[in-house]
Amino acid sequence: MFVPLHDGVPMRFIRVAYVTYALIALCIVLRLMLMHWTSEASEVAVMAGFGTIPAVLFGEAQLPPELFKAPPWLTLMTGIVLHASFAHLIGNMLFLWVFGDNVEDAMGHWRFLVFFLLCGMAGALLHALMNPESQQPLIGASGAISGVIASYLMLYPHVRVWGLAFKWIPLHIPAMYALGAWILFQLLSALFDQQGAVGWWAHLGGLGAGAALTPLLVRRELRLFGRGVRGLP
């Protein structure tokens, strides 16, 4: 629906968003490894072993021993950095590239990393709760990035963002409209696209976690909802 390209918000507290760039690099490297150094069967095994499978997480089903890679609770985290395709990967990484650096700037490196992981885990858990009998693995950083989107929206609602609507219409509009429409789309999809292959509830779980955690983790001198930074003109 909306693909972000650029926001132009300068860094205020850090010089380089090391964690954001490291997460992007990790996701890309893992996707390349799965493509070039594993067979299709091995790739499926990795997705099943490291992705969050609701029925396995809640003890309603068990993976065959040859597919077991990590304890079920740990897959809430490991699934975050795996992506099923390059289209899946690129979509997520664009959002992280545009918005992640400013959220990391607002929180600091380590708090941002914790924030990212907690949002991803919250998204995977809500997906599992809403689909407790599913035996399909959930993978991808969408839940974590949804948390980043919620945080960015709370920090910079009035910043004008360059992006593409419906993949080809260029727009330059305030984040509150672009991301607000994106959030509404996630909600409607979760309610009405119950047979779809996308983990809409994971997106909503990440959004909720991001909104709840942002006031706790951003720097104390920052004000939320576009009210600026205390002490700056």
Residue 124 pLDDT more than 50? yes
Query: In degrees rounded to 5, what are phi and psi of residue 161?
Result: -110, 135
Distance CA 115, CA 144 (A): 8
Q: To which residue do tokens 């509830």 refer?
A: 201
What is the per-residue pLDDT for 232? 34
CA–CA distance, 90 with 98 (Å, rounded to integer): 12
Locate 6 and state its tokens. 């650029």
Does position 166 have pLDDT exceeding 90, yes or no? no
For the whole model, what pTM was predicted? Answer: 0.93
Total residue count of the chain as it appears in this document = 233
- 229 found inside a domain: no
Asked whether residue 96 is domain-assigned, the answer is yes
Reply yes or no on whether the pLDDT at 233 is more than 90.
no
Residue 67 covered by a domain: yes
DSSP element (H, E) containing 171:
strand 169-174
Any domain includes 224: no
- Residue 231: predicted pLDDT: 34
Instruction: Kindly give the interhelix angle for 109-130 and 142-155, rounded to the nearest 10 degrees.
Output: 120
Q: Is residue 231 part of a domain?
A: no
In a domain, 226, yes or no: no
What six digits make up the tokens of 161? Answer: 């963002």
- Asked if residue 227 is part of any domain, the answer here is no
Its domain, for residue 59, covers: 2-217
Which CATH number belongs to the domain containing residue 159 in this structure?
Answer: 1.20.1540.10
The number of folded domains in the chain is 1
Cβ neighbours around 228 below 10 Å, total? 9
CA angle 77, 145, 141 (to 5 degrees): 40
Q: Tokens at residue 162, please? A: 């360059």
Q: Is 24 inside any structural domain?
A: yes
Q: What is the mean pLDDT of residues 25-44?
A: 87
